[in-house]
Structure 1
Amino acid sequence: MGSGGQKLRLLAFHGFRTSGTILAQQMEISRLSKNLEDLVDIVYLDAPNVASGPIPADVPSDIFRGPYYEWWNAEQDPTTKEILRYKGWDETLAFVKDYIGLHGPFDGFWAFSQGTILASLLLAMKQQGLILQHPCAPRFALCFGGVIAAPVMQHFYHATKIQAHSLHCIGDKDFVKKWSHKLMDTFDNPLLITHPRGHVVPALEGESLEKLRSFLMARQQESAL
């Protein structure tokens, strides 16, 4: 059943070394595209950096075809394995800011895996007055298979929690589950949905789907004020 409100326009950030097209496929496979089509219009963006290494093992190339992109590549200290920098971050930040300025407005972010780091950092930086200060800038995030930024980037989260609305969909068998909860903890009053699967965009039904739809309908009501 439709909400009766104007559709939310969302900017979607794909996972590591995939693409906007692949995230759209993942949404189709999960039927979330169909189940939310009355509530949202989603724009699937490709990262500005071509994949700099092999495609993740859980991205079957016979189903999810390239080209493949990354928001950045996390470069590690070879001895300690500590992440030293996000190579490609500057290009991504400039690209996304320009895209929102040229193609906005967007109500919020829809993000998966590496894309959730980007969405959370953008909202944190917005809260600090560093970027996206225009009235129609994205104001909330939906994070699937979320990951918190590496310590080298966590200064952007600052001392206070992110005051934006957020929904976090976390898999019981997801190998990033611990980091998904850490990401959720950077937000003030986040909403949690769990599912029994791993690092995927899951099919949601019943109470979980209604929880997601209710979150989006609440954001619609805010837009109408």
Structure 2
Amino acid sequence: MEDHEKQKRKPRVLCFHGYRTSGEILKKSIMSRWPEAVTQKLDLVFFDGKFLAHGKSSSLDGISDPPRYEWFRTNEDLSLVRNFEECVAYIEDYMVNNGPFDGLLGFSQGALVAAALPGMQAQGVALGKVEKIKFLILISGAKFGGKKYEMPTMASNAFSYPIKCPSLHFIGSFLMP
């Protein structure tokens, strides 16, 4: 792609949905609330997590039909993270086959994953086949190693050093429409 074409195109943003939802649910329930003046300036790409959801998502009953997805597996109280390496490999494959992407947007569990990726990329343990992530938009996210989620081994240094990746954080409660 030539330089003038890069300057003309909208920033491509890969969008990560929340726990037991889908890319389509993220697009309809959250992104539809953003002003058109913002969304028309971005090329938003929504995709689904690696794993079919285990269990119900009661907040979505009657709002959206399955299938629903998760980015990684957890135990009942969400403290034990499983299959994180598979999740990251799945994301990288998607980015290689559908990119390039300039930034990442994540909601809830998707924000948790998206937040770790630039640090993992900077450490050389993930996303080595794609361009450097230039920015993050995180909505109702958390951090691995916090009060709820354990730190996956692969992400153990993701937050160890400052990275040069601007981020916009939306913090607060969210109610489905």
- Which TM-score band applies after superposition, normalised by the shorter structure? 0.7 to 0.9
TM normalised by structure 2 equals 0.81
2:15 matched residue in structure 1 = 12
Q: Distance in 2 between matches of 1:162 and 1:201?
A: 33
List alignment gaps of at least 5 residues for structure 1.
172-197, 203-225
Sequence identity percentage: 31
Does the 8 Å contact 2:121/2:127 carry over to 1?
yes
1:147-166 maps to which residues of 2 (within 5 A)? Answer: 147-149=142-144, 150-153=149-152, 155-166=156-167
Q: Distance in 2 between matches of 1:161 and 1:110?
A: 19
What are the Cα deviations for residues 53-86 of structure 1, in whole angstroms up to 9, with x where unaligned? 221x3x332122221000112226xxxx6833x2
Matched, 1:98 2:99: no
The structure with more radius of gyration: 1
Q: Distance in 2 between matches of 1:35 and 1:155?
A: 38
What are the Cα deviations for residues 161-200 of structure 1, in whole angstroms up to 9, with x where unaligned? 33311000112xxxxxxxxxxxxxxxxxxxxxxxxxx225
1:19-98 maps to which residues of 2 (within 5 A)? Answer: 19-30=22-33, 32=34, 34-55=36-57, 57=58, 59-75=59-75, 83-84=79-80, 86-98=81-93
What are the Cα deviations for residues 101-132 of structure 1, in whole angstroms up to 9, with x where unaligned? 11110000011000011111111101112222
List alignment gaps of at least 5 residues for structure 2.
1-6
Greater length-normalized contact order (CA 8 Å, ≥ 6 residues apart) = 2
TM normalised by structure 1 equals 0.65
Does the 8 Å contact 2:115/2:136 carry over to 1?
yes
RMSD over equivalenced CA pairs, Å: 2.5
- In the TM superposition, what is the alpha-carbon distance from 1:91 to its structure 2 partner? 2.0
2:4 matched residue in structure 1 = none
